[in-house]
A and B are shown apart, each in its own frame.
Chain A
């Protein structure tokens, strides 16, 4: 993975408005993708608290039948999880830049 992947862009993506009203299938797909990414982040021991809370918000909206909101939150959670994966990957070497030596 490229280190310079722009995190800011990644986060911005999640705020693109949905073109049509989302349905349950959209929500389930978006949620599954977010969950996969968040599990990968957890496996790298680099989960963000905001991924967890945003994923929970997606679930809550989905359970309540508000699929527009649920899809938006799931996409945001996925973006957060992916950013944390980029961070963990880049830090495998980047941590040395901060070392006192």
Chain B
């Protein structure tokens, strides 16, 4: 767990060479086995970081660095996401023009259910993220959808995460070939190299968690969505999962996809499923 200072540049040249030379280990006719994948994924991180308590992986970069963790714990006394949380709560209890509320769109009135998102909708045949479900709720009630990257959406998901804190992630993969395909597509998206820097999500969040990229410490991929949405000083505000994924794409010089693209929905499904059992910790605060 050394703090490699020039990870990005070093990997860039290495990546360009590796790109020309890779001869991938092609595994023929793989069967999709999400349960086995989740087990392997968790074991990888548990073994790589034997000193990190399992439930701590959901705290992003803080799980990797003691100094940062202390600063964060101090910050949690006056959390910077509190404003968003209050706004989200208020929005949740304010009726739409038609008199209905968000609570009418969700099981259990939307309280304590964050750990079940995203889910696979067998009617639509696709993954539905919490952000997507929120906008669909708005549209079904005659309201304009919110931007997927901005404050209102982050406030709503912050509130929903907060009411679910501590609940273990609980993503189901129904017995439906399309659900397995979505999981597999999400997995492929996660491991696929993209952008001019030739990085996959895994290059940073599997191979280099705990390392420093510019001023930031890379979060481990295990439980990486459990803390969303997050406050970041660099954004001077809150960011949704969508915003984070788009930012990560840009960092590799890949053009981000459109919000709630199938790939983003599927990679959320994959990452959330392999984090099953780890507690919801959102909303998060990042330096």
Residue B254 is within 8 A (CB to CB) of chain A in the complex? yes
CB contact list, B236-267 vs A, under 8 A: 250, 253-255, 257, 263
Q: CA of A87 to CA of B18 in the docked complex: distance in angstroms?
A: 12
A96 touches B21 (CB 8 A): no
B254 touches A48 (CB 8 A): yes
Q: CA of A100 to CA of B270 in the docked complex: distance in angstroms?
A: 13
Give min CB distance, B261 to chain A, whole Å: 8
A93 touches B191 (CB 8 A): no
Q: CA of A80 to CA of B30 in the docked complex: distance in angstroms?
A: 33
Q: Which residues of B contact A87 (CB under 8 A)?
A: 19, 193-194, 198
Give min CB distance, A46 to chain B, whole Å: 6
B19 touches A7 (CB 8 A): yes
A91 touches B192 (CB 8 A): yes
Residue A39 is within 8 A (CB to CB) of chain B in the complex? no
Number of interface residues of A (CB under 8 A): 30
Residue B215 is within 8 A (CB to CB) of chain A in the complex? no
B16 touches A7 (CB 8 A): yes
Q: Which residues of B contact A4 (CB under 8 A)?
A: 20-21
Which of the residues A42, A83, A88, A96 comes within 8 Å of B24, measured between beta carbons? A96
B26 touches A96 (CB 8 A): yes
A49 touches B195 (CB 8 A): yes
Question: In the complex, which residue of chain A has the Cβ closest to the Cβ of B26?
Answer: A93
Asked if A99 meets B254 with Cβ closer than 8 Å, knowing A3-B22, A48-B196, A49-B195, the reply is no
> What sequence of 0s and 1s flags, for each residue 18-49 of chain A, a beta carbon within 8 Å of any chain B beta carbon?
00000000000000000000000010011111
Residue B40 is within 8 A (CB to CB) of chain A in the complex? yes
Residue A97 is within 8 A (CB to CB) of chain B in the complex? yes
A98 touches B191 (CB 8 A): yes
Q: Which residues of B contact A49 (CB under 8 A)?
A: 195-196, 250, 253-255
A91 touches B193 (CB 8 A): yes
Q: CA of A4 to CA of B251 in the docked complex: distance in angstroms?
A: 25
Residue B202 is within 8 A (CB to CB) of chain A in the complex? yes
Which of the residues A90, A94, A100 comes within 8 Å of B40, measured between beta carbons? A100
> What sequence of 0s and 1s flags, for each residue 167-209 of chain B, a beta carbon within 8 Å of any chain A beta carbon?
0000000000000000000011001111110101011001100
Contacts A7-B16, A91-B194 aside, 15 further interface pairs with beta carbons under 8 A come to A5-B20, A8-B20, A49-B254, A80-B196, A83-B196, A88-B194, A91-B193, A93-B24, A95-B188, A96-B25, A96-B191, A98-B200, A98-B207, A99-B191, A100-B41
List of 10 A-B pairs having minimum Cβ-Cβ separation, nearest first: A97-B24, A47-B255, A94-B24, A95-B191, A95-B192, A98-B191, A49-B253, A100-B44, A48-B196, A6-B20
- Which B residues are within 8 Å of any A CB, using their own CB? 16-17, 19-27, 30, 37, 40-41, 44, 187-188, 191-196, 198, 200, 202-203, 206-207, 250, 253-255, 257, 263
Q: List 22 A-B contacts (CB under 8 A).
A: A3-B22, A3-B23, A7-B20, A48-B195, A49-B195, A49-B196, A49-B253, A83-B196, A90-B19, A91-B192, A91-B193, A93-B26, A95-B193, A96-B24, A96-B27, A97-B22, A98-B193, A98-B202, A98-B203, A99-B191, A100-B202, A100-B206
